[in-house]
């Protein structure tokens, strides 16, 4: 089974997808981490992100290994564990420049399809999450979900993650990496409105466990009850 989940920043894609994958015994692919790893690789190699062709060339050499265990997802580039390095504010601020490069999207989309196919062939199935999984990377997925949440809820969640608080100052400090990044990313991929056949789950008024359950309910409604 392939489950595709898209949505904006802070909607809960990564955490909820991991919860769903764990509950169903599926692999888990964080495609945002692949764009972050590509950004890290270009900066590590001194490639200016404004040079579209140089970035695309560098990403074609990306020696990326994604660990797809939902309990312990990992990201290695050239043998280096970059799991923490790709979550820094520097990468969060820079990643849209790489994610809006259409040559990069073609290359990473190819890698993502290969990961999904390899999970399918191994008979394990996978939950893949990002911005264009339901529409471009795996439009034929068995289950397709758009996970949304109000701007207010998304900002508060990210503020708690990054600053340990959701007071006004923390929310303001988070605005760039949530709303500006979504606005930039939206110029090349549409993840605010569900495409045909994609089920919307709005997590604004749900807690984490309720959101995982809501997605599991969608899975069950599409593929039937689990054995
Ligand atoms: N339904 C929810 N209610 C409250 N907090 C949530 C919910 N879903 C996710 N979170 C929390 O919000 C934060 C952002 O979630 P994350 O999975 O990183 O979102 P995304 O991958 O969409 O950016 C995390 O700390 C996560 O635990
Ligand atoms: N399938 C995808 C996944 C992520 N991206 C882009 C969008 C984001 O700016 C970056 C990082 O994604 P990530 O899911 O880690 O972002 P969050 O911080 O969880 O909101 O990559 C994309 O363009 N397409």
User: Has 204 been labeled as part of a binding site?
Assistant: no
φ, ψ of residue 2 in degrees (nearest 5): -115, 125
Residue 124's pLDDT is 83
Residues sharing a CB contact under 8 Å with residue 79, sequence separation 6 or more, in sequence order: 63
Give the residue with greater pLDDT, 113 vs 120: 113
Question: What Å distances lie between residue 63 and 25, 38, 44, 92, CA to CA?
Answer: 27, 9, 13, 21
- 152: CA distance to ligand 1 center in Å? 13
Output the CA–CA distances (angstroms, integers) from residue 192 to 6, 148, 200, in the order listed: 9, 8, 10
Q: What's the mean pLDDT in 201-205?
A: 96
The span from the CA of 94 to the CA of 56, in Å, is: 15
pLDDT tens by residue, 43-99: 999 999 999 999 999 999 999 999 999 999 999 999 999 999 999 989 999 999 999
pLDDT tens-digit map of 155-190? 999 999 888 999 999 999 898 889 988 999 899 998
> What was the pLDDT predicted at 177?
81
Domains plus CATH for the chain? Answer: 2-222 (3.40.50.300)
From the CB of residue 80, how many other CB atoms can be counted at a distance below 10 Å?
Answer: 14
Q: Which residues line ligand 1 (CB under 6 A)?
A: 7, 9-16, 157, 161, 203, 206-208, 211
pTM of the model: 0.96
On whether the CB atoms of residues 134 and 145 are closer than 8 A, the answer is yes
Type and span of the H or E element at 81? strand 80-81
- Give 226's pLDDT tier (boundaries 50, 70, 90): low
Residue nearest to atom 20 of ligand 2 (CA): 9
Least confident stretch, 47-51, 123-127, 135-139, 142-146: 123-127
Residue 116 Cα to ligand 1 midpoint, Å, equals 23
Asked whether 128 and 29 are in contact (CB, 8 A), the reply is yes
């Amino acid at each position: 089974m392939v489950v595709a989940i898209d949505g904006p920043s802070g909607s809960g894609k990564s955490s909820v997808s991991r919860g769903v994958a764990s509950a169903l015994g599926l692999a888990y692919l964080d495609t945002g981490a692949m764009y972050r790893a590509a950004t890290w690789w270009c900066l590590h190699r001194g490639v200016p992100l404004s040079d579209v062709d140089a970035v695309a060339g560098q990403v074609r050499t990306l020696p990326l290994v994604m660990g797809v265990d939902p309990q312990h997802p990992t990201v290695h580039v050239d043998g280096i564990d970059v799991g923490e390095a790709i979550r820094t504010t520097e990468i969060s601020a820079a990643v849209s420049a790489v994610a809006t490069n259409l040559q990069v999207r073609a290359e990473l989309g190819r890698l993502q399809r290969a990961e999904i196919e390899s999970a399918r062939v191994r008979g394990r199935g996978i939950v893949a999450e990002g911005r264009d999984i339901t529409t471009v990377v795996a439009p034929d997925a068995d289950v397709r979900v758009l996970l949304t949440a109000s701007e207010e809820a998304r900002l508060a969640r990210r503020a708690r993650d990054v600053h340990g608080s959701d007071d006004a100052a923390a929310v303001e400090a988070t605005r760039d990496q949530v709303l500006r990044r979504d606005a930039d990313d939206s110029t090349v991929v549409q993840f605010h409105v569900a495409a045909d056949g994609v089920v919307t789950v709005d997590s604004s008024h749900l807690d984490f466990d309720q959101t995982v359950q809501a997605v599991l309910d969608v899975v069950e409604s599409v593929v039937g009850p689990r054995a």
